[in-house]
Amino acid sequence: MSTLATPEPRTPWHVWVVGALALLWNGSGAYTIVMAQAGRLADVSADEAAYYAAQALWMLIATDVSLVAGIAAAVALLLRSRAAVWLFAVSLAAIVVTNGYDLAAGTSRALAGTGWLVLTGIIVALAILQLVYALAMKRRAVLA
């Protein structure tokens, strides 16, 4: 009796590259933000320290949800789990909410100078690209 086994599709090389880079990016961002929130990040200007010290509890929680979801999404991508899509979406949503609120309140670091504006744009763009990539891998049945 012969059985035909469906071979498991090979993981494209770029999943490993994107997953590893996403883990490094999101992990380093989480470290930086959490240390800044705790007031333990070296070389923080007085106005930046004041920004983090003045944040409302809901803003701290939303920011940390974004950070944890981004790291979990990168791990899920490396594990080829479709949960990566939802986790990247949660991370992006929290980024949009926190940055949108900060911009509307006039407290956004993006308003502090061109460098901050560029950094904020890069963070949002990379969050969008990570979600788009995970969606594409889900559509190609790379994520199960």
pLDDT tens string 65-78: 999 999 999 999 99
Residue 109 belongs to a domain? yes
Residue 78 belongs to a domain? yes
The domain of 135 spans 13-139
Residue 130 belongs to a domain? yes
| Whole-structure pTM value | 0.90
pLDDT tens string 101-110: 999 999 999 9
- Please state the domain count of the chain: 1
Residue 2 belongs to a domain? no
Residue 6 belongs to a domain? no
> Which residue reads 């070389």 in tokens?
43
Residue 34 belongs to a domain? yes
